[in-house]
């Protein structure tokens, strides 16, 4: 008899966030689930890890619960590392991260704790997907995501992913009937034009509050931003080899290895 797949669930919005609760309910239909997620919001932590503080795990599920849920005092990446090395008896068949409250398309993938958790799982050789809904509200309606999330997860479990690749899935803020479908995309060339709002404390000390505007410089129709803006779910394959392979030949013309 085939074993059910073991699915690790994490996020960056914290273990009590509505998005992860939806993800748990969908994954329960597919396999055996374990949740290891931050005990507090960890948005925009990127791939940070905890090295100068202690880490704590706290099981928050009841003894008789069908799903084990563990909160972690660290970052999303810490959650994955601890799950793989300290909690799980075998490597998961799949790691899903999210559902994030807000977009992780385009350049946002760099800053995202949601996607960094998925990338960390990929580094560990675990097929991984980060899911995000383009709705920052805590009370966002995640029900429109369920069918699509299940379909994508089942495909990954059945077909696997290329070595070193994880999926970045973003879902537009539309109801299920309005979503036109899913598109495999590339990451759009977009940036944050950032500003810092300078303020003062009552004691007269300056402090800064980050603000900014998201600017898309990419007119391509094969990007995640185009897909999302036109009613499609975007699926971007992301790899964690940061080598700019296309630049190696040009840099070799510098002849840095030649002795002067």
Per-residue pLDDT tens digits for 44-63: 888 999 999 999 999 997 66
- Residue 207 confidence (pLDDT): 93
The reported pLDDT for the residue numbered 236 is 97
Please work out, in degrees rounded to the nearest 5, the angle formed at the alpha carbon of residue 118 by the alpha carbons of 117 and 123.
95
Enter the pTM of the model.
Answer: 0.92
Beta bridge partners of 7: 33, 94
Listed by start position, the domains of the chain span: 6-188+220-252
Q: Label residue 151 by pLDDT band (50, 70, 90).
A: very high
Q: What is the pLDDT of residue 97?
A: 98
- DSSP 8-state secondary structure symbol assigned to residue 84: I
Q: Considering only the top CATH level, what class is 6-188+220-252? A: alpha beta
Average pLDDT taken over every residue of the chain: 92
pLDDT digits (tens, 9 = 90+) for 191-229: 888 888 999 999 999 999 888 888 888 899 999 999 999
Amino acid 2: pLDDT: 62
Buried b / exposed e along 46-70 (16+ C-beta atoms within 10 A): bbeeeeeeebebeeeeeeeeeebbb
Distance between CA atoms of residues 119 and 122, nearest Å: 5
Residue 1's pLDDT is 41
Which three-class secondary structure state does DSSP give residue 209?
Answer: strand
Secondary structure of residue 113 in the 3-state scheme: helix
Q: What is the pLDDT of residue 172?
A: 96
Residue 181: both structure tokens together: 């479908």
Taking phi over 0 as left and psi of -120 to 50 as alpha, with beta for the rest, 67 belongs to beta
């Amino acid at each position: 008899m085939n074993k059910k797949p073991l699915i690790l669930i994490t996020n960056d919005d914290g273990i009590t966030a509505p998005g992860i609760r939806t993800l748990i309910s969908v994954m329960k239909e597919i396999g055996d689930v374990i949740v290891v997620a931050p005990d507090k919001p960890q948005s925009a932590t990127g791939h940070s890890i905890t090295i100068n503080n202690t880490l704590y795990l706290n099981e928050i599920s009841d003894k008789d619960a069908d799903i084990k849920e563990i909160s972690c005092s660290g970052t999303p990446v810490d959650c994955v590392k601890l799950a793989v090395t300290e909690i799980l008896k075998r490597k998961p068949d799949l790691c899903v991260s999210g559902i994030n409250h807000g977009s992780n398309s385009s350049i946002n993938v760099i800053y995202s704790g949601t996607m960094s958790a998925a990338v960390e799982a990929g580094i560990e050789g675990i097929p991984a997907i980060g899911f995000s809904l383009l709705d920052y509200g805590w009370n966002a309606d995640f029900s429109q995501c369920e069918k699509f999330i299940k379909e994508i997860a089942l495909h990954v479990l059945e077909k696997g992913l290329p070595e070193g690749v994880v999926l970045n899935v973003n879902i537009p803020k539309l109801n299920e009937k309005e979503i036109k479908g899913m598109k495999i995309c590339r990451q759009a060339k977009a940036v944050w034009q950032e500003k810092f709002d300078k303020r003062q404390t009552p004691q007269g000390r300056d402090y800064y509050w980050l603000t900014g505007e998201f600017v898309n410089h990419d007119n391509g129709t094969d990007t995640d931003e185009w897909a999302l803006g036109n009613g499609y779910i975007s699926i971007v394959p992301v790899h964690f080899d940061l080598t700019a392979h296309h630049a190696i030949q040009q840099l070799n013309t510098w002849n840095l290895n030649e002795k002067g």
